[in-house]
A = this chain, B = another copy of it.
Amino acid sequence: MNLQSDVSVSEQVMANAIRVLAMDAVQAANSGHPGAPMGLADVATVLFNRFMRVDPAKDKWPDRDRFVMSAGHGSMLVYAINHLLGYDDMDMDQLRNFRQMGYRTAGHPEYGHAKGIETTTGPLGQGIATAVGMALAERMQNARFGDDLVDHYTYVIAGDGCLMEGISHEAIDFAGHMNLGRLILFWDDNKITIDGSTELSTSMDQQARFKAAGWHVQSVDGHHHDAIATAIEAARTNDKPSLIACRTVIGKGAPNKGGSHKVHGAPLGEEEIKATREVLNWPHPAFEIPAEVKSAWEAIAEKGARLRKSWEDRLEASPARDDFAKSNAAPDSAAVDSAMNAYKARLSADRPKVATRKASEMALEVVNATLPNMIGGSADLTGSNNTRTSAMRPVSRDDYSGDYIHYGIREHGMAAAMNGIALHGGFVPYGGTFLVFADYCRPAIRLSALMGVPVTYVMTHDSIGLGEDGPTHQPVETIASLRAIPNLCVIRPADAVEAAEAWQIAVVSGRTPTVLCLSRQGLPTLRTAHTDANMTARGAYVLREMPQRDVTLIATGSEVELALSAADILAQKGVQAAVVSAPSFELFNQQDAAYRAQVLGDAPRVGIEAAVRQSWGQILRPEDGFVGMVGFGASAPAPTLFEHFGITPQAAADTALALL
C-alpha cells in the first residue's frame, strides 16, 4: 500500500519545513539538537507522507501506526511533524517555546506531555526496546482480534548511540527471535557522535549484526526519497523485522556545519541559519510555514482520518467489538476485588506457609483467571520467579496467541518491552527477575515511573534470605534504591495475604508501576483474621497492638515474622511491643497524618529489614533502632546468614531493650 499524497508541494519542501522549524526552535531555545532532525527530515517525510497511518484528531486510535523517536534528543523532529500534521496541542507557540517551562515541547519527547508521543525517549536505546514491546503487543492483539481490527506497524528511528547501548542488543535479539515483521527500524547512519566521528568508538558492521539477529536488512541514501520509499515498502512486506540503514548527513542543509559533530547538540547560530535558509531556498521567517506546505502535511492527517473512520466501521460491525473495547480499557477492579477477597478468606483459613514468590504465583492464579489480558514473563527465571500460572501458554513467533513471554536473559529488554506492551494497550504486563537484577533494568523502571505506565515487576529472592548465591545476588541496597524513584510503588509483602493484596493493588494501579519484592524462603501466614479491607494498601498497619506500647517494632516482608518473635521475647521480659507490618513506604506516605501517627505511635521504634537503613528516614528517627544490613551479604545457607548478620528475633529484642 502506497499512500503517497496527491499534492502540489514537493516532498523536498515538506522535509525542508522540518529542517527549518528544528533549526529555528533550537536557536530560539539556545539549546537542543538540530543535527538529527535536519538529517532525518527526508526519511521522516517519506515515512509520514507515504506510509504512516495516524489521525491527529483521534491520537489514541488503537490501530494507528506507532512512531518512536528513539534518538530522543532529536525531539524537534517529532514536534515539527506533529505541528505540521495539525495536532491541536502542538501549535506554533509550542515550537517557539521549545524547552521552556510549561510547554509541551520538552528537551526530549515526554509521553503524556503532547499527543502523538508514543513513549518517552532520550535515554538511548530505550525507544528501540520499548518499540519491540509495542510491535509484540500488536502481534499478540492481532492473534486475538484478527487483521480487521489490529493491523499496524511500529516505526522507530535510532541513532548510533541507540545502537551502541547494550539494551539495543537485547531488543534486537528478542525482536528477531519473535520475528516481529511489523517492526521497522531506521538507523540514522550519519557517522557522527558527540565526541566526533563514529570511528573514534565503533567498528561494528551494523548491517551484519542485524542479519545475525534474524532481521531483514537494507541500506539506502537517507536523502533519496524514492529509495527510502522503496525500502519501506520492502520492509513492510518482508515477514522479518527490518533494519533500514539510512546514510544521512547530520544537519543536512546547513552548508558549513552540516556533516560534523558541531551540529549535533548546539544551535546553528544566526549566520549559519541564514546560510541554511539560502541553501534550502526557504525565504520565510522563523516559525512561519506557507499555507501550501501546511496543507501538504495536513493531507496526511486527512488520509489518516479516513482510515481511522473505516476502521471504526469495521469495529462497529465486528462480533469482537465488546471484547476489543474491554481489552483496551482499564482492568476491571471490581472483578479483581471480588475474586481477591474470596481468595484472601481462603488464605486466612488455610494459613499456608509459603515463600512470597510462591504466594505471588497463587495470587496470580486468581488475577489471571479474572483478567483475560494479563501477559506474564520472566528473564529466564520462570521457575524461580513463579511467574507462569497454570493456564498460561508461551508466546512464540509461530503463535502469538499465548500469554507468557520467555524474555531470555534480558532484564533490561524485558522491562522496556513491558513498557511498550503497556503503552501499546490491550494488555497488562508483568515480568520477573531476581530483585538484585533490578539494577540491570533500572533505566527502564525509571521510565515506567516517569511515564506512569502500570507494569508490574516481580522481583524475587529479595534479601540475604536467598542464601548460598552470595553477595552478587543478595540485594541489600536495592529496595532503598527503588524506593528512591518517584512514582514507583515498592511492595514487600510479609505473607500470602499481603502478597494477594499487593497484586490487587498492582493490577489496577493506573499510572504507577509496581515492584513486588518477594522472598525465596517460606513464610507463615500472619494475617490469620480475614478482612476484605486491603491493609497492604495502607502501606503499613498495626499487626499486633498492645494496651500500652513500650516499643514499636516495624518490619517488612520476611522480617515481619521475625518482629513477632521479637515481640514474644520482649513480652517475656514484661515489655509491651507492638508490631507494625509496613509492606509499602510509598503507600504509607500517602495516608493521612492521623493514621500514620496512630500506626507509628509515640514509643521508641525499631525498624527491621534485611537491607540497608537508608530508606527508613520517614519512619525512623535517628535515635530509633534498626536491625538490618550495613554492607554486602555473604554466601551461606539463609539461616546462617541471618544469624551471622544479626538479623534475628533476639537481636531485634536486644535493640528494643537498649532503647528503653
Contacts and interface: CB of A to CB of B under 8 A. Distances in A.
Given A166-B169, A203-B176, A631-B486, A443 B439 contact: yes
A630 interface: yes
A166 B164 contact: no
Nearest to A473: B122
Given A170-B166, A213-B209, A612-B484, A200 B394 contact: yes
A636 B612 CA distance: 35
A99 interface: yes
Contact of A470 (B107, B170, B477, B483): B107
Interface in A177-225: 177, 193-195, 200-206, 208-209, 211-214
A450 interface: yes
Nearest to A623: B621
Interface stretch (A250-258, A302-310, A381-389, A569-577): A381-389
A13 B394 CA distance: 42
A11 to B, nearest CB: 31
Contacts of A101: 634-637, 640-641, 644
Contact of A123 (B384, B413, B440): B440
Nearest to A438: B442
Interface stretch (A81-89, A130-138, A403-411, A535-543): A403-411
Contacts of A206: 212
Given A634-B101, A634-B106, A173 B202 contact: yes
Interface string A440-472: 101100110110000000000000000111111
The residue in A440, A442, A617, A641 that gathers the most chain B C-beta atoms within 10 A of its C-beta is: A617
A66 interface: no
A470 B383 contact: no
Interface residues of A, number: 108
A507 to B, nearest CB: 24
Contacts of A612: 484, 486
Please state the number of chain copies in the assembly: 2
Nearest to A102: B636
A414 to B, nearest CB: 10
A369 interface: no
Interface in A155-173: 160-161, 164-170, 173
Interface in A118-143: 120-124
Contact of A484 (B123, B165, B467, B614): B614
Given A177-B203, A477-B484, 14 more contacts: A101-B636, A106-B471, A107-B635, A108-B470, A108-B472, A108-B473, A164-B173, A166-B166, A193-B408, A194-B383, A195-B378, A204-B214, A481-B481, A621-B622
20 contacts: A99-B637, A101-B641, A123-B472, A165-B409, A166-B413, A173-B202, A177-B201, A193-B409, A195-B380, A195-B382, A200-B394, A201-B406, A211-B212, A477-B484, A477-B485, A480-B480, A481-B484, A616-B617, A617-B620, A621-B622
Interface of A: 29, 31-32, 72, 99-102, 105-108, 110, 120-124, 160-161, 164-170, 173-174, 176-177, 193-195, 200-206, 208-209, 211-214, 378, 380-384, 394, 406-410, 412-413, 436-437, 439-440, 442-443, 446-447, 449-450, 467-473, 476-477, 480-481, 483-487, 612-618, 620-622, 629-632, 634-637, 640-641, 644
